[in-house]
């Protein structure tokens, strides 16, 4: 089904671009989505189709916009259980388990979070860019667990994308991760500012680079210490607050300063023998964890529609608690 809306330009609209004129009146759609509608012949004036997004407005002009229903997403919905922390008409907050890929890609076309959300949300997805699919504004690595937000509508996607693009510098967004790292960082609090890029020879890895990388900033605070079998401090819990969100950022940054994550075979392979220093219960917990010890524990956002400040938290996995000696 297609619905139509008609708008009449006022004196204050004189000289404005058509796509901007429409964006000011159809706030539930992104400007890029409205550009596509114009280019595809969905906007007419006085019976004539206009296909130029930069068509200039004159007072009294009348424009009719035909907006088709969102088309079904190419990924298919799959009945995959979700741990839902919060949900409303515009967004959904989930507690992602380790092992779940966020977005379909080569080697993982099914069984992803996107497949699960398409099935769960169904008709509630109003269409991101005209396609009935969830709006992914940030991702967690496959083996990273914890809280993340996904947009269900185009307007929510726009608002959340702006928050993540500002990297928390305007105070709206705050992301914090719990990481278990080998050794005890020299400073209780510090900031790692080191650009990241692809490893020169191992394309699945990232590395700190001097040229050609992307800016990456991680603020960390050292917390509880992990006591080894001999009574010495062998590892620590570190809270990481992201100012940027690069692939593998925390894993690479902590390895860069000599404190790779427990269980991280990609960036901390040289510390595998250190597991023997842990107490027996912690050693078993690492084997059960079977991944890097990284968990997205909290997320603060400003709701992209209601403007309400919202904070969501995810409890530490049981394996983390066992390694830290916290019990169940």
Catalytic residue among 19, 90, 141, 264: 141
Q: What distance in Å separates the CA atoms of residue 27 and residue 4, rounded to the nearest whole number?
A: 15
DSSP H or E run through 294: strand 294-302
pLDDT of residue 119 exceeding 70, the answer is yes
Q: What distance in Å separates the CA atoms of residue 160 and residue 155, rounded to the nearest whole number?
A: 9
- Say whether 156 sits in a helix, a strand or coil: helix
141 in active site:
yes
Q: What is the CA radius of gyration of the chain?
A: 24
Q: Given this model, what pLDDT does residue 28 score? A: 67
Q: Sign (positive/negative) of CA torsion 104, 110, 112, 115?
A: positive
Q: What distance in Å separates the CA atoms of residue 110 and residue 87, rounded to the nearest whole number?
A: 23
Name the CATH superfamily, with its identifier, for domain 2-68: RNA-binding S4 domain (3.10.290.10)
Topology classification of domain 72-165: Pseudouridine synthase (3.30.2350)
Just give the CATH number of 176-296: 3.30.2350.10
Tens-place pLDDT, residues 19-39: 888 888 877 677 777 888 888
Task: Kindly list the distances between the CA atom of residue 89 and the CA atoms of 92, 138, 152, in Å, as whole numbers in the listed order.
Answer: 8, 19, 7
Paired tokens of 107: 């080697």
Q: What are the strands of the beta sheet with 62-68, ordered from one edge?
A: 2-8, 62-68, 43-45, 48-49
Sequence ranges of the domains in the chain: 2-68, 72-165, 176-296
Tens-place pLDDT, residues 62-118: 888 887 766 554 678 889 999 999 999 999 999 999 999 887 765 667 888 988 988
Tens-place pLDDT, residues 238-285: 999 999 888 899 999 999 999 999 999 999 988 988 999 999 999 999
Can 2-68 and 176-296 be said to share one CATH topology? no
């Amino acid at each position: 089904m297609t619905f139509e809306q008609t708008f009449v330009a006022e004196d204050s609209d004189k000289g404005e671009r058509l796509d901007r004129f429409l964006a000011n009146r159809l706030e539930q759609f992104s400007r890029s989505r409205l550009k596509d509608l114009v280019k595809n012949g969905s906007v007419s004036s006085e019976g004539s189709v206009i296909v130029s997004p930069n068509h200039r407005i004159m007072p009294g002009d009348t424009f009719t916009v035909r907006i088709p229903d969102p088309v079904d997403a190419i990924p298919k919905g799959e009945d995959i259980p979700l741990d839902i922390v919060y949900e409303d008409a515009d967004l959904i907050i989930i507690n992602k388990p380790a092992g779940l890929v966020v977005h379909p890609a080569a080697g993982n076309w099914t069984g992803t979070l996107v497949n699960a959300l398409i099935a769960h949300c169904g008709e509630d997805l109003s269409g991101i860019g005209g396609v009935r699919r969830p709006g992914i504004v940030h991702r967690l690595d496959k083996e990273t667990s914890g809280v993340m937000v996904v947009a269900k509508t185009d307007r929510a996607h726009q608002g959340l994308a702006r928050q993540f693009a500002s990297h928390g510098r305007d105070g709206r967004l705050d992301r914090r991760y719990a990481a278990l790292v080998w050794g005890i960082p020299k400073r209780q609090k510090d900031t790692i500012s080191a650009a990241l890029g692809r490893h020169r020879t191992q394309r699945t890895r990232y590395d700190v680079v001097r040229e050609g990388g992307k800016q990456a900033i991680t603020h960390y605070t050292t917390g509880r210490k992990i006591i080894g079998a001999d009574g010495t401090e062998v590892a620590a819990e570190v809270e990481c607050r992201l100012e940027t969100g690069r692939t593998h950022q925390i894993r690479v940054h902590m390895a860069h300063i000599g404190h790779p994550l427990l269980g991280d075979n990609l960036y901390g392979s040289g510390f595998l023998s250190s597991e023997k220093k842990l107490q027996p219960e912690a050693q078993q917990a690492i084997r059960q964890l079977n991944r890097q010890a990284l968990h997205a524990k909290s997320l603060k956002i400003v709701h992209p529609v209601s403007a309400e400040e919202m904070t969501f938290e995810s409890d530490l996995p049981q394996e983390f608690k066992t390694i830290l000696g916290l019990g169940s």
